[in-house]
Amino acid sequence: MKAEKFLSIKIQFLLLAVLLVALSSALWGWWAWKNERHLLYESLEAEGKQMVTSLASPIIIALLYEEMGVIGEGGLLDNIIEEIMTNTGLPVQHAYVTDHDGKILTHNNYSEHGKTYTDPLTRAAITEKRYLSTLIPGKKTQPPILDMAMPLHVYGKTWGTLRVGVSTAPLEAKLQALARRIVGAALGSFLFGALLSYLIGRNMARPLQRLSAVMSAVSTDNLAVELPPRRPDEIGLLQDSFRDMLERLRRSESERERAVAQLVQSEKLASIGKIVAGVAHEVNNPLFTINTCIHNLEQDSTTPNRNLSFIKQGTERIERIVRQLSDFSRTGSMEPRQLESDRFFSESAEFARMALKRYQVRFRADDRCQPPALLSLDQGKMQQVILNLLINAADASPDGGEVSLSAASENGVYLISVRDRGAGIPEEQRPHIFDIFYTTKAAGAGTGIGLAICKSIVEMHGGTLLYQSRPGDTTFTVRIPHLS
């Protein structure tokens, strides 16, 4: 399958973080530059206002002297304008004085003498009788000019205005230098933020990449993967969910394998059942003839014949084996019906007492399934299982030993157990005890069919046949679901 192209979380986080860092750096730089520009212009205007305010009174006095004829016209005003132009504190571009009609009385540019200015700033300053200023844009590459107008007003009489224009070139040069520093600082912050975002993004993506690698390694053949250490965050929650999913997968796979094994076993048992049914049929015919001949020989013989006795015992054993094989071939057919567990247990215990009378063992029955559970089973076949397990337990018990039958209910499952105090099942024999024709008894004492039949019957009821064994204590437990 072709891998789908995508933008990883690390890259997405890095892009978003870089964008935020760039945006915040730009906003911070713009705010810092605007704030500094405002402060510089305020400082320039305050200095210019202080200058024109301090010169207003000398100019008014000079105009009074000229009107009174004390001094010649224009001489003192020219000196004041020259002093303004040569001021080293401010880069003055122009300075002039007008009368109340806007006529130039003195100007730093002598060619402007006598002209009348009607610009809005002059008229506003005369009308409003207060200091005013405006920023005049520069021509082409020239910087703006701060143009200030100071009304020459005293005792209710307006003499005119003092106009001074100050270049903002030094201020703009400072702002350009500041802009370069801000750009450098913003670039440094951007690079640092980008690097920090990359490291954080990589640290965030690394556990996800490890978890993704673990997820990729999961398959039906490999569910035992080792997860990274638990994290106390959202990734840890994702790991927990993945761990739970793995556990469910393991259980599902275990159930699937068990179901497949049961299916294979059922098919195998069905095949064996067909074979043994045919074998039993073919064996019964000559066996019947042999038994008839033995009966006739016994009738004709006047004295006991030991050889006939041995032959009769052999044919009886063959009959028993054939009968068990026939039972095994018919385990697939069931006739289930519903009944209470206490009734089933009491009848099974009664049959067990009768079946175990020929054994030198003590039998004990204990029904702990209270209240009784409702069962759905083939009573005859399930009692066959219990009797087979009890006879096996009696065979394994020493003389005087105890064989117990008990019942209980646990989480919707009916449990019936057979326990003996025999020598136990050897470790090497345990994997094979449910195999057909495998027996732990001495030669001639067992056929190896009983436990295979028991297991098949229990599984046909949707249950399981389990056992635990150690020297002196062996317990076989039948587990079948009940309807209660």
Last residue of one domain, picked from the residues 279, 299, 330: 330
Query: What CA–CA distances, in Å, run from 105 to 5, 271, 332?
Result: 80, 132, 131
In a domain, 107, yes or no: yes
Q: Is residue 34 part of a domain?
A: yes
C-alpha radius of gyration, the chain, whole number = 57
Same domain, yes or no: 352 and 462: yes
Q: Do β-strands 361-367 and 401-410 pair in parallel, antiparallel, or remain unpaired?
A: parallel
Amino acid at 71: I
pLDDT at position 292 = 76
Residue 259 in domain? yes
pLDDT for res 63 = 81
Phi-psi label, residue 198: left if phi above 0, alpha if psi -120 to 50, beta otherwise = alpha
- Number of neighbouring beta carbons within 10 Å of residue 53: 13
Looking at residue 277, what is its pLDDT?
64
Q: In this structure, are 319 and 345 located in the same domain? A: no
Structure tokens at 212: 């993704």
Same domain, residue pair 324 and 340? no
Total domain count, the chain = 3
d(CA 183, CA 245): 52
CA distance 415 to 409: 6
In this structure, the answer to whether residues 39 and 112 fall within a common structural domain is: yes
Residue 193 lies in a domain: no
| 391 part of a folded domain | yes
Identify whether the C-beta of residue 187 lies closer than 8 Å to the C-beta of residue 26. Answer: no
- Give the end of a domain, one of 119, 149, 175: 175
Same domain membership, residue 317 and residue 246: yes
Q: Are residues 362 and 445 in the same domain?
A: yes
With a cut of 50, which residues of the chain have pLDDT below it? Answer: 1-2, 443-444
- Residues 221-256: tens digit of each pLDDT: 666 666 666 767 666 677 677 777 777 877 787 777
Domain check: are 321 and 368 in the same one?
no
What token pair was written down for 308?
A: 């006939």
**For the domain that residue 143 is a member of, what is the CATH number?**
3.30.450.20
* 4 domain-assigned: no
> Do 431 and 341 fall within a single domain?
yes
Q: Name 334's Cβ contacts closer than 8 Å, sequence gap at least 6.
A: 378, 381, 460, 461
CATH classification of the domain holding 316: 1.10.287
CA-nearest of 164, 133, 194 to 55 is 164
Q: How far apart (Å, rounded) are the C-alpha atoms in residues 68 and 156?
A: 18
Copy the structure tokens of residue 28. Answer: 């911070």
Nearest 5°: CA angle at 291, between 288 and 294? Answer: 150
Residue 292 is part of which domain span?
218-330
Residue 264 placed within a domain = yes
Q: Are residues 387 and 255 in the same domain?
A: no
Asked if 22 and 146 sit in the same domain, the reply is yes
Q: Inter-axis angle of helices 9-68 and 75-85, to 10 degrees? A: 160
Please state whether the predicted TM-score (pTM) of the whole model is above 0.75. Answer: no
Q: What is the CATH number of the domain that holds 454?
A: 3.30.565.10
CA distance 318 to 284: 9
- pLDDT (0 to 100) of residue 317: 65
Question: Which H, E and C letters describe the chain, residue by residue?
Answer: CCCCCCCCHHHHHHHHHHHHHHHHHHHHHHHHHHHHHHHHHHHHHHHHHHHHHHHHHHHHHHHHHHHHCCCCCCHHHHHHHHHHHCCCCCCEEEEEEECCCCEEEEECCHHHCCCECCCHHHHHHHHHCCCEEEEECCCCCCCCEEEEEEEEEECCEEEEEEEEEEECHHHHHHHHHHHHHHHHHHHHHHHHHHHHHHHHHHHHHHHHHHHHHHHHHCECCECCCCCCCCCCCHHHHHHHHHHHHHHHHHHHHHHHHHHHHHHHHHHHHHHHHHHHHHHHHHHHHHHHHHHHHHHHHHHHCCCCCHHHHHHHHHHHHHHHHHHHHHHHHCCCCCCCEEEEHHHHHHHHHHHHHHHCCCCCEEEEEEECCCCCCEEEECHHHHHHHHHHHHHHHHHHCCCCEEEEEEEEEECCEEEEEEEECCCCCCHHHHHHCCCCCCCCCCCCCCCCCHHHHHHHHHHHCCCEEEEEEECCEEEEEEEEECCC
**Interhelix angle for 306-329 vs 234-300, to 10°?**
150
The CB density around residue 133, as the number of other CB atoms within 10 Å, is 19
Do residues 345 and 452 share a domain? yes
Any domain includes 232: yes
Does one domain contain both 293 and 392?
no
Q: Which of 297, 330, 363 is the last residue of a domain?
A: 330
What is residue 416's predicted lDDT score, i.e. its pLDDT?
93
